Amino acid sequence: MKMMKDSSSRQVTFSKRRSGLFKKANELATLCVAQVAIVVFSPGGKSFSFGHPSVHSIAQRFLNQDDCNSTNVDNFHVSLDDAKLEQLNQHYVELTKELQTEKKRGQMLEKAISSKRKMVCQKPVNELSLEELEKFRKSLEAFQEKFEERVYEIEATSSLLQLSKSVEDNGS
């Protein structure tokens, strides 16, 4: 491995690797119920951190090297915070999976659109016959209908997620 010479490439690589590092830290915290803290500084000097349950609590624990300094009341609050954080982490993992599924679906739709476009419209539009234009129009209308159905599904899912969040917020 070598340091990247181009500063803009270095910044892009830093951002991507930082995101991956934080994602892995979150997975470690979620799957293993581990306490994790990461602090990184960008090439430009800006700091970024990830902590579970928090960077501060992990740093204090590391610096003190002693769990027994907390009172029972503090432990109770931390366990409540951990439970809420665990719930939020689980929600994050679910949303991340849903996002990946939607990205894959979007890629498949892009491929389908591209192949349909090639099948229907191999010539420029102004060179199509009346019959080809009519066929092209019908395929566009079918696409528009499927597109509108998908938009409706996404809006409904979004509304349900917002409703679920507001119910959780009101119940807490």
Are 85 and 61 in the same domain?
Answer: no
Are 5 and 48 in the same domain?
Answer: yes
* DSSP codes joined into one string, 107-130: HHHHHHHHHHHHHH-SS-GGG--H
Q: What angle do CA 33, 37, 42 make, to 5 degrees?
A: 140
Mean pLDDT of residues grouped by 10 in the chain (172 residues)? 86 90 92 91 88 87 66 52 74 86 88 69 77 88 91 85 73 60
Q: How, if at all, do strands 36-41 and 47-52 pair?
A: antiparallel
> Is this structure's pTM higher than 0.75?
no
Share of the chain above pLDDT 70, in %: 82
Phi, psi of 160 (to 5 degrees): -65, -40
DSSP β-bridge partners for residue 169: none
Are 94 and 141 in the same domain?
Answer: no
Which residues, in sequence order, are CB contacts of 90 under 8 Å at separation 6+? Answer: 30
Give me the pLDDT at residue 25, please.
Answer: 92
**What's the one-letter identity of residue 30?**
T
Are 141 and 165 in the same domain?
Answer: yes
Give me the pLDDT at residue 86, please.
Answer: 75
Are 78 and 61 in the same domain?
Answer: no
**Count of domains in the chain?**
3
Give me the pLDDT at residue 66, please.
Answer: 54
Give me the pLDDT at residue 18, please.
Answer: 92
Domain range for 145: 121-172
Among candidates 16, 59, 64, 61, which has minimal Cα distance to 39? 59
Say how far apart CA 70 and CA 145 lie, in whole Å.
Answer: 61
